[in-house]
Structure 1
Amino acid sequence: MSAVCAAGAGTAAEAVRQAAVAPARGSVLEVATLATYRRDAIEAGLGERAGYIGRPRCDVTLSQVSYATIGVRGEPATASAMLLLPGGPDCSESHGLLGWAQGTRMQRDVTQAGDLLAAGDSPLMTFYAAQGVAVVATDYLGLGRSDYPFHPYLHAESEASAIVDALRAARSVAAEAGTALSGKVLLAGYSQGGHAAMAAQRTIERDHAAEFTLAGTAPMSGPYALERTFVDGWSGTGPAGPNSLATALFAYTVVAMQRVYGNIYASPAAVFRPPFDATVEGLMPGSRDIFDLLRQGALPPGAEMARLRQDGFTRAFDDPQFPFRQALARNDLLDWTPRAPMVLCGAGRDAVVPFANAVTARRIFTARGAAVELLDMDGRIPPDLDGVSVHTSAAVYLCFGATRDRLLALAR
C-alpha cells in the first residue's frame, strides 16, 4: 500500500511540476482559418430545411484551434476544437458563445473542423453560427489534434476541462479576429456530448462561476446516470430494446476507465475473449468509426456480448464494489444542483442511451429547486424506426431544433 501511495504522490507531484512550466489553460497554441461561408450560400444549401432551421442571418468563418488544457491528473495537455464565428453586414451585434460537446467518436485523428470543411455543412453552422451564436466544439482529449495518449471516454472531469479551456481559447481567437462576444455562454451536447455538457455545467458553476456567465444549457440524450445505464444494458439489451452498438460502447468505456484509474483489469484478457483481447485497446480510439468496427468484425455485434466479454467479468459486475462499477459511479452526474436553466432532450425509444437518464436527472434536479425542462421527441419519430436509429439519427436532429430556440432566447 505504501508503494502505491508513493507512486500516486509522485505522479501528482510530477503533474504539478509540469503545470508550472506549461502554457496557461485555454492558451491558444495554433489557429488555422479554413473557410468562410457566405450567408446566401448557407441559405441555398438548406433547401427544404430552411423552414425548420430558419433563414441564416450571418456569414460564418470556420477555424481549427489548438489550445492548452489538462489531462486526467492535471498534467499539461493539448486539444483541438472547431470554432465558428458569425459575421457579415447583418450580424454586427455581440454574440453569445456556445460550447458544444460532440457525441461518441472512435476515430483518433478526425476533427470536427475537418468534417465541416469536407461536407460544407453542419448543424452547428446552420442552427447556431448562421443565426448569430459563436460556436466552439472541442474534439476532446486524445482525439483530433490532441497530443494526449488516450481518450478518457465518459470521464466527467476531463470532458469538462476540455470544454472550459476551449471556451477560453475561443474568447481569445474571437477578440483577435475582432468578433465581439456578449459574455453569455451556452453549453450543449448529444450522447457522450450530453454527458460532457452536463459535466461542464457542473464544473463551471462549481469552480468558474466568476469567469463565465452561463445563460443556459442543453445536455441531450446523455448517460447522466452512468452506472445505472450500464447495469440496465449489461446484456446488450436495455429498456428500449436491443442495442447493436453495445459491444463497442462497452469496450470503449472499459478501456478508457482502465487508462484513467488503472484498476479495471491486469490485462485485456481478463475482460475480453480471444481474439478481441489482442486488438481491442488499439481500436479505442483508432482509425475506424464505430459502425465500421462492427461491420468489419473487429468487434462482435451488440447482440453477441458473450463472444466479447469474459464470463468472470460479467459475473463480477453484480457487485457494486467491483472496480468497473465504481469507476462508472464516479462519473455519474446527479450529485449537484444546476443553477443555470437546463433543457434535457431525448426519446423514449432510444435503445443506446435510455431516456430514463433524462427523466431521473429532471426529477432529482427539480426536487432540489433547479429549473429543468424535459423534452421527449418520441411522438415526432416514425414508429417503425429501430431504437439505435432513434438515437443516432432521428432524435439528434429533432433535439437540435427543439432546444435551439430556447438557447437562443437565453443568449439574448
Structure 2
Amino acid sequence: MGGMMRGRRAGLWLLCILSAVCAAGSAAAAADDAAAKASGLAAHAFARGSVLEVATLATYRRDAIEAGLGSRAGFIGRPRCDVTLSRVTYATIGVHGEPATASAMLLLPGGPDCGEPHELLGWAQGTQTRRDASQADDTLAAGDSPLLTFYAARGVAVAATDYLGLGRSDYPFHPYLHAESEASAIVDALRAARRVAGEARIPLSGKVLLAGYSQGGHASMAAQRTIERDHAGEFHLAGTAPMSGPYALEQTFIDGWSATGPAGPNGLATALFAYAVVAMQRVYGNIYASPADVFRSPFDATVEEFMPGRLDIFDVLRQGMLPPGPEIARLRQDGFTRSFDDPQAPFRRALAGNDLLDWTPRAPMVLCGAGRDAVVPFANTLAAKRLFTGRGAAVEVLDMDDRIPAEVDGVSVHTSAAVYLCFGATRDRLLALAR
C-alpha cells in the first residue's frame, strides 16, 4: 500500500515540475512531450476509482471483536476474522460528470482463519447532514460498527462511501437523493476498494454485494441499476439488499406532504424536506430563485448552510435550526405548498427524475423495512416488489414489524429498531446468495 501511494505522490510531483524541465530542451518538441505526459498523468490521477489517499486507522482482532459483542453474539454471529479499518479518498464524478473526489470507509478482513477470497459489499449510508462526517472516523471513535461486526468480521470486505460533498469529498455540496451520483459514488468506491485490497494482498472473490438503509436504500438500488446497465462486465453482482428507502421518491413526498402518514407523524419531515429542496436546487438550479421562495423567515436565512453543515440531522432539529418535524407549515411558504399540486412543478419533476422503479433488476434483490415506519413509508418497498416481480425479477420482501414492540413510535422504528433487524436478516440472505 505504501508503495502504491509513494508512486502516486511521485506522479503528482512530476506534474508540477514537468513544464520547467521541458523548458530546458528544444522548444517545440519539448512542449509537445510535456503536454502528452501531463495529460496522461492527470488522466491516471483522476480516473474514476483511482485511490488518491489511504489512511489505515486501526486493526481489530477477532478475540476483541467477540468480547465486545457480549450478548449480541447470538444474533450477529461469532467473528472469524481480524478487521483492518481504513479511510480511502478516491476519484469519482460530480452530478454533471465533472471530476470530483469522495471518501469511503474500507473494512478488510484478515487473520489466520480468514484467508479465503472475500466478497465485497458496497454499503450506502443513511441521511447525513454533518458535512465532515466520515464513516471511517466515526467507526474509529466508536470502536464499533454494524458493518464491522455483521460483515467484515464474518469475512466480507466492505466499501462504504461517504457520498459526494460529505466526509473528505472536495465536492461543493451533497446531492441528496440524486440517484445517478449516489450510484457513481458507490461504483467508484468499489473500484477503489479493489485497488487497495490488491495492494494489501487481500484476496477478493470477485462477487459484489450492495446494501444500504434509508437514503442508502435509495442509493444501493440506484447503484444496482447503474451497474447492471453500464458495468455488468466489470462487476459480478451476486445480490442486493436495499432497506427502507424512498424508491418511489415523488410519491413518497406526495404522501408525506403534510408530515403525517399512515404510520403517524414524521418527526424528521422538516429536515428531510429542506435537505431535498436545497440539494435539488443545487443539482438542477430551477427549484427557487431565493430560499425565501420556499422557506419562511427566519429559516430561509440559514437553511442552506445546514444542508449539509456542522450538525447531524437530529441536532439540526434539537437546536431549533428548523421547526420540529410535524410542524412543516412553519417552515414552508404557502405558495410553494400550493405549487406542489402541479406535476410539472420543478421540485416535483426533480423528484420524479430520481424515482427508481422504471427498470428491471437482474441480480436477486432482498428488500427490508417495517410497516410502521413513519419516516419512509413501507409502501415504497411494496411498490418495488410489485413492479419488479411483475417484470420477472427475483425480489424478496422482509417486514420487521412483528419483531418490533408495539410501543415503539414510527420515527424510532425507522431510525433504530428496523435498522438492526434488517442488518441481520438481509446479511444472512446476501451471504447465501454469494456463497
Instruction: Please give the alpha-carbon distance, in whole angstroms, between the structure 1 residues aligned to 2:255 and 2:432.
Output: 36
Instruction: Please give the alpha-carbon distance, in whole angstroms, between the structure 1 residues aligned to 2:127 and 2:191.
Output: 23
Q: Which residue of 1 aligns with 2:137?
A: 114
Q: Which amino acid aligns with 1:100?
A: W
Offset, 1:26: 0.2
Contact 1:233 1:239 in 2 (8 A): no
Instruction: Please give the alpha-carbon distance, in whole angstroms, between the structure 1 residues aligned to 2:231 and 2:328.
Output: 41
Instruction: Please give the alpha-carbon distance, in whole angstroms, between the structure 2 residues aligned to 1:22 and 1:277.
Output: 40
1:261 equivalenced with 2:284 (yes/no): yes
Gaps of 5+ in 2: 1-41
Instruction: Please give the alpha-carbon distance, in whole angstroms, between the structure 1 residues aligned to 2:314 and 2:325.
Output: 11
Instruction: Please give the alpha-carbon distance, in whole angstroms, between the structure 2 residues aligned to 1:256 and 1:167.
Output: 25
Q: Using structure 2 for the length normalisation, give the TM-score.
A: 0.90
1:179 equivalenced with 2:202 (yes/no): yes
Structure 1 counterpart of 2:62, from 13, 19, 39: 39
Contact 2:44 2:50 in 1 (8 A): no
Q: Which residue of 2 aligns with 1:315?
A: 338
Q: Which residue of 2 aligns with 1:272?
A: 295
Q: Which residue of 2 aligns with 1:393?
A: 416
Offset, 1:339: 0.2
Structure 1 counterpart of 2:351, from 328, 331, 351: 328
Contact 2:45 2:52 in 1 (8 A): no
Question: Counterparts of 1:97-112 in structure 2 under 5 Å?
Answer: 97-112=120-135
Structure label with greater radius of gyration: 2
Which whole-Å deviations, capped at 9, do the CAs of 1:351-384 have from their partners, x for residues lacking one? 0000000000000000000000000000000001
Structure 2 counterpart of 1:73, from 73, 96, 103: 96
Contact 1:232 1:239 in 2 (8 A): no
Q: Which residue of 2 aligns with 1:244?
A: 267
Structure 2 counterpart of 1:62, from 85, 94, 115: 85
Q: Which residue of 2 aligns with 1:235?
A: 258
Q: Which amino acid aligns with 2:94?
A: G
Offset, 1:239: 2.0
Q: Which amino acid aligns with 1:300?
A: P
Contact 1:22 1:76 in 2 (8 A): no
Q: Secondary structure at the match of 2:327?
A: helix
Instruction: Please give the alpha-carbon distance, in whole angstroms, between the structure 1 residues aligned to 2:116 and 2:145.
Output: 23
What is the total number of aligned residue pairs between the two structures?
394
The structure 1 segments of at least 4 consecutive aligned residues displaced by more than 4 Å after TM superposition are 19-22
Q: Which residue of 2 aligns with 1:123?
A: 146
Instruction: Please give the alpha-carbon distance, in whole angstroms, between the structure 1 residues aligned to 2:361 and 2:44.
Output: 34
Q: Which residue of 2 aligns with 1:284?
A: 307
Q: Which amino acid aligns with 2:220?
A: A
Offset, 1:139: 0.1
Which whole-Å deviations, capped at 9, do the CAs of 1:204-256 have from their partners, x for residues lacking one? 00000000000000000000000000000001112211001000000000000
Structure 1 counterpart of 2:379, from 349, 356, 359: 356
1:30 equivalenced with 2:49 (yes/no): no
Offset, 1:22: 6.0
1:146 equivalenced with 2:169 (yes/no): yes
Question: Counterparts of 1:192-207 in structure 2 under 5 Å?
Answer: 192-207=215-230
What is the RMSD of the two structures over their aligned residues, measured on CA atoms?
Answer: 0.8
Instruction: Please give the alpha-carbon distance, in whole angstroms, between the structure 2 residues aligned to 1:41 and 1:116.
Output: 15
Q: Which residue of 2 aligns with 1:4?
A: none
Gaps of 5+ in 1: 1-18
Offset, 1:269: 0.3
Q: Which amino acid aligns with 2:115?
A: S
Structure 2 counterpart of 1:50, from 73, 85, 93: 73
